[in-house]
């Protein structure tokens, strides 16, 4: 599939969010097996490309409670994934997960733009009330990103996650639809 054949689900200024393709499986497998990429993820088992293909193919069966999208640069380079998981339609709440696998895009605001786009979608299109997430307490770059997008800390689960031979705190954060900072997301949306 050529770059211009790819579907853009949410368009931003630096990045777009699009459905994942089977052809993305190799990149996803490379990222999920890279300890530097997964240092802040709860992943601890190796993943094979075939497993990633199966996962991508099964994403459509998870709708509407789980939505996973690829984060792609305007130039068409897949750099990560983002999703809304475990959506509770009665309580109008969901959980956010994001990973930027292409390291050269770390610290370039691509994650901030992706988070802004997806929370805009969660609030404006899905009419959700709250977007939650959990993050390793020592993942300062991610915490800064989430705060820029309007997330507030709701709690800390001390020494909750065992990773790389030690226990890490898990910070619980959330943003509500009525939060004024969420209005900043409009600067990322392509007009």
Greatest pairwise CA separation for the chain in angstroms: 47
Structure tokens at 188: 């990322």
**Residue 171 in this model has a pLDDT that exceeds 90:** yes
CA distance 104 to 36: 12
Summarize the confidence of residues 156-176 as an average pLDDT: 95
- Which of these CATH numbers, 3.40.50.300, 3.20.20.150, 3.40.630.30, 1.10.3720.10, describes 7-187? 3.40.630.30
Place of tokens 């901030």: 112
Summarize the confidence of residues 7-13 as an average pLDDT: 93
φ, ψ of residue 151 to 5 degrees: the values are -70, 145
What pTM was computed for the model? 0.89
For the chain, what are the domain ranges?
Answer: 7-187
Place of tokens 């993942």: 139
Q: How confident is the model at residue 156 (pLDDT cuts 50, 70, 90)?
A: very high
**Residue 184 in this model has a pLDDT that exceeds 90:** no
Are 162 and 182 contacting, i.e. CB atoms less than 8 angstroms apart?
no
φ, ψ of residue 182 to 5 degrees: the values are -65, -15
Are 16 and 78 contacting, i.e. CB atoms less than 8 angstroms apart?
no
**Residue 40 in this model has a pLDDT that exceeds 80:** yes
Are 96 and 83 contacting, i.e. CB atoms less than 8 angstroms apart?
yes
CA distance 113 to 4: 22
Q: What is the pLDDT of residue 4?
A: 52
């Amino acid at each position: 599939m050529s770059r211009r054949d790819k579907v853009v689900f949410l368009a931003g200024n630096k990045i777009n969010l699009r459905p994942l393709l089977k052809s993305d499986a190799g990149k996803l497998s490379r990222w999920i097996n890279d300890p530097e990429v997964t240092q802040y993820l709860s992943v601890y088992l190796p993943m094979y490309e075939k497993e990633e293909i199966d996962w991508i193919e099964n994403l459509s069966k998870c709708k509407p409670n789980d939505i996973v999208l690829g984060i792609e640069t305007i130039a068409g380079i897949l750099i990560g994934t983002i999703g809304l998981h475990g959506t509770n339609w009665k309580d109008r709440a969901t959980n956010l997960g994001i990973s930027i696998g292409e390291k050269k895009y770390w610290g370039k605001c691509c994650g901030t733009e992706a988070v802004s786009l997806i929370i805009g979608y969660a609030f404006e299109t899905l009419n959700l009330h709250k977007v939650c997430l959990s993050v390793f307490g020592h993942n300062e770059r991610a915490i800064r990103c989430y705060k820029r997008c309007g997330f507030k800390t709701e709690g800390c689960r001390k020494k909750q996650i065992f990773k790389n031979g030690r226990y890490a705190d898990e910070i619980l954060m959330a943003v509500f639809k009525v939060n004024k900072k969420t209005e900043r997301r409009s600067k990322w949306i392509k007009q």
